[in-house]
Amino acid sequence: MSNADRMKYDHERIEKTLKALTSTMLEELARRGGKREADKITSDGPRGRGSYSDPTLANVVRKMDGQIYDPVYEAVRTIAVSLNDMASLAMRIDDQVRFILDTSERRKRSETAICEACLREVLCTPKDRLKSGYCATHYQAWLRAGKPYRAQFEHEVREKLSAETQEA
């Protein structure tokens, strides 16, 4: 099976599943599995003669006996977690499709440049931008120095960096 066929098959399977899950069906599932069955039980069940009422102990004993397992609650919980995961994956797929189809988005992500002062590679992301040809560190240093002549500033930065690497 080719990659395209596999993606088509997966897409059709997801569509089929999601078409079956209408909003009314989801509301009904949430209503049925909204609370564990054990939480709905109010009586402690039959007691023998002479015993006293200890609801906490009775609840612990029921849990230890495994009588509380509520398959409807667990199924609804699994469906909710799976739908949440599908929504997260759908957003990731949207981002990837936008990256492939939108050239401006691809250009934003793949653009790199070199800082003219330190010759470091700048990724040109929102957190690592190139301003006036300099990385953020050297742009701020250039501004603090009062925007001196660029060639002189770049020469001074490179001399500092080479002195630091020789000391280390």
Q: What is the pLDDT of residues 55-70, one digit of tens each?
A: 777 777 766 665 556 7
How many CB atoms are located within 10 Å of the residue 83 CB? 14
Tokens, residue 114: 């070199």
Confidence of residue 146 (pLDDT cuts 50, 70, 90): very high
Q: Cα–Cα distances in Å, from 65 out to 62, 69, 158?
A: 5, 10, 74
Distance in angstroms (rounded) separating the CA atoms of residues 149 and 114? 19
Q: What are phi and psi of 131, to 5 degrees?
A: -120, 125
- 78 vs 105: which has the higher pLDDT: 78
Position 131 scores a pLDDT of: 85
Position 56 scores a pLDDT of: 78
Which residue matches tokens 């250039």? 142
Distance in angstroms (rounded) separating the CA atoms of residues 64 and 38? 12
In the predicted model, what is the mean pLDDT of the chain? 80
Give residue limits of the domains in the chain.
Answer: 3-38+53-109, 111-167
Q: Which of 112, 114, 117, 131 is nearest to 161 (CA)?
A: 117
Q: What digits encode the pLDDT tens for the residues 2-38?
A: 888 999 999 999 999 889 888 888 888 888 877 766 5
Distance in angstroms (rounded) separating the CA atoms of residues 87 and 29? 18
